[in-house]
Structures are given as C-alpha cells and as structure tokens.
Structure 1
Amino acid sequence: MADRLGPTRALVAVLALVLAALAGCSSDAAPAGTFTGSRVDPPFDVADVTLTDTEGQPFSLTDPGQRLSLVFFGYTHCPDVCPLVMSTISSALTRLDDADRAQVQLVFVSTDPTRDDADTLRNYLRGYDPTGVGLRGSLGDVATLAKSVGIFVADAQQLASGGYDLGSHGSQIIGVDGDGRAPVFWDGQVSSAELAADVHTLLAAS
C-alpha cells in the first residue's frame, strides 16, 4: 500500500508545482527582465518649445534638470482613449517605490487649448496625479513639440473648438529624459505593471 501511495504523492507534488507556476503567470506584475516600451535609437530630440503650466509659469521639456517625464498629448473632453491612458499612467506611478517616484513626473499636453484653460487642466489632473504638470499653448507650438517626438497633431481629426483629437493613433506615452531627449515610447495598450517596470529600468540605468 505504501508503494502505491508513493507515486500518487509524487504526482500531487508535481501538480502543486504546476498550479503554483500558473498562479504566478496570472499575476499582473511584468515579468522580470523584460522591457515593453519601444526604444528609439537615436532618441528623438525634443523641440525647444516653451508652453505654460497650470500656474501660469513657462515650462519646457528641454529645461536642464527635468525629471524623467511621461508625456501624453490629449484633451480633457476626450471621452475614451485619454482617460484610459491617463489611468494607466496614474496606476503605474503608484506602483513605484518612493525613490523612483521622486524621479518621475506626469506631463499632460493639451491639444485643445481653447477649452482646456488652466483651471480645467488642474481639475482634470487631480483625478489622476495632483502633482502632474498640465501644459497648454498655441496649437502651432503643441504641434511642433508633438512632431519632434513622432506624434503628428496636424493629421488628427479637428475638433469644433479648433483643437485636435489624436484618437487611438496618437495615444502613445512618450518618455523624455533630463537631457531633453525621448529615448522610448509606449503604446497606449501598455499595462500599468509593464509601464512601472520599464520606468524602474530606465531610472536604474540613468
């Protein structure tokens, strides 16, 4: 009887290991050692464009000493794509430890500056990251900045307000480093776990 139970117990042990492995695969954490974002080589040179933040102060992504910026172009009245991507960024930021979080900032660039005044942008960002930077400026300046990182605002659908709806084709998250370069971008479908893991990798390498 003991000999018969031996193989059975071994089979149970194997099944337990398999189930444990499957449980690990179902986790929403990004696999260690993977990088989900698309590397840009050579990196985009970010246009030296000065926009205005929600406090009325000038802001440029090329200013020396900027933290790693997760940049997204959108507008506050966007009904679908923008809220999804902004929620992903917000969730990714909460996954970072304190040391990493202190080195990263969310930057939201409005493509609808007529409706997205300072108060509107500020209130919008409170729902995702109260410390985030909301930027607005002329559509010409916004388009120049966007084009320099591979996003073509002028090709997007124009809104009745005069702004632009980039839609799903412009839903990328752009990573801009402290040297005013964009060495990476993420598709809007990236998960918060993947984005957070990539941010940690970038910071560790800097």
Structure 2
Amino acid sequence: MRRSLLAGPVLVLLVLLAACGGSAQSADGELTGTRLDPPFDVSSTPLTDTDGNPFSLTEDTDKPLTIVFFGYTHCPDICQTVMANLASAMTRLDATDRERVDVVLVTTDPARDTAPVLKTYLAHFDPDFVGLTGDINTIIGIAKPLGVGVSKAQKLPSGGYDITHGTTITGIDAENEGFVYWDEQTSSAQFAADIHTLLND
C-alpha cells in the first residue's frame, strides 16, 4: 500500500462524512462485527504511547472494551477511513458508554510515526484515542496473534514507502481476549451500535 498524509481539514471532513453512515444492525439485533470463538490471544508486550510511556494492550487497558487498529499516519485511504469512522462512532455513544471504551492505533510505520507524530495525527480524530509506536518487530509480534499481518516498510525508488498491513479492527474485553473483530468497511453507525451492544450484554 502506498500512502500519503492527508491534511488536518481533510481528516475533519472524513469524520463528518462518516457521521452519515447507514443503518447499524439487522432487525434481530445481531452484531455487524464477528464474535470470535475461541477468542484471539492478546500480547502483553508493551509499546510506547504518545507521552513516551510504556503501554501494554493487556496491562494498561482496564476498560470493558478496547478497540485496536493497526495502521499508519501516511496512509491516505483505509486507515483514514477506519479512524474517522471510529471517531464518529464515539460521538454517537452516550457518556456512559463512551467512558467504558478505549480506541488504540498501533502504527505499522514506526520509522516515521514517532510519538509526537502520532499525537498530532490522532488529535484530528479524537484526542482521547491512544497511539502506540515501537520497534517494528515487536509490533509484528503483537499483531500476529490478533490475526493481523504487518510487513516491514520497503522504500521505493520514488522515495516513498510500500507498507502492507491487515485492516481488521479488533475488540479486546476486560479479560484481555480479542473476542470480536470488524472489517474496514464497517460504518460509524455500525461501530456505535455494536459497541453499545457489547458493553451492555
């Protein structure tokens, strides 16, 4: 995938457009996402958050639901869309639900996505989102048990980068298990409805 960073106003526009997402669930109340049985294992290996502190997807996530996506700031399409839809989904939740969920972006391009870069990027979506960076081999190891493939960035003759990564979004529960996932086509309305259902089962 070849990516370029979109400007802040464009990111805001994506969030606004995502808020116009379609219907959230089927009439029988089934999730848009897919429940995992058995659930995925979640690595306890820490990465580094945007404040420079260690952050583990098991040790530092104490909310009932943590939503994790692997992507990078120079990605112009899928990553932008997923993050915009998640940001819009948060605005659809009531305050009680919103306080019980975290959204985490793990970079797949740590060479460029330093902690300050991630912090600025996420501020365009939701300043409460958690951004994580670290050694690429560590990131690959954390992504693998969640069923997300990540490859090292390859520099192109043009000067750009070719980065390949899986685009599923994983929900981790309070028992530190990856128990549900969504694909990149999930709308903000679908995310919001699923989050509410999962938090109130």
TM category, shorter: 0.7 to 0.9
Partner of 1:16: none
Does the CA contact (< 8 Å) of 2:85 and 2:187 recur in 1? yes
Q: TM-score, normalised by structure 1?
A: 0.79
Q: Counterparts of 1:21-170 in structure 2 under 5 Å?
A: 28-31=22-25, 33-63=29-59, 66-67=62-63, 68-154=65-151, 158-160=153-155, 165-166=163-164, 170=166
Give the secondary structure class of the aligned counterpart of 2:155: coil
Give the secondary structure class of the aligned counterpart of 2:81: helix
Residues 1:202 and 2:198 are matched in the alignment:
yes
Taking structure 1 as reference, are residues 64 and 51 closer, same or farther at Cα in structure 2, changes over 3 Å only?
closer
Aligned length, in residue pairs: 175
RMSD over aligned Cα atoms: 2.0
Q: For 2:189 and 2:94, locate their aligned partners in 1 and report how far apart those are by CA, in whole Å.
A: 13
Partner of 1:21: none
Q: For 2:148 and 2:115, locate their aligned partners in 1 and report how far apart those are by CA, in whole Å.
A: 23
Does the CA contact (< 8 Å) of 2:109 and 2:153 recur in 1? no
Query: Deviations along 1:76-100, whole A, 9 cap, x unmatched?
Result: 0111111011111111111111000
Q: For 2:50 and 2:145, locate their aligned partners in 1 and report how far apart those are by CA, in whole Å.
A: 23
Give the secondary structure class of the aligned counterpart of 2:191: helix
Q: Name segments (4+ residues, structure 1) moved above 3 Å.
A: 161-164
Letter in 2 for 1:28: G
Is the helix fraction higher in 1 or 2? 1
Alignment gaps of 5+ in structure 2: 1-20
Does the CA contact (< 8 Å) of 1:113 and 1:163 recur in 2? no
Structure of greater Rg:
1
Q: TM-score, normalised by structure 2?
A: 0.81
Give the secondary structure class of the aligned counterpart of 1:153: coil
Q: For 1:194 and 1:204, locate their aligned partners in 2 and report how far apart those are by CA, in whole Å.
A: 15
Q: For 2:92 and 2:120, locate their aligned partners in 1 and report how far apart those are by CA, in whole Å.
A: 23
The alignment-based identity, stated in percent, is: 49
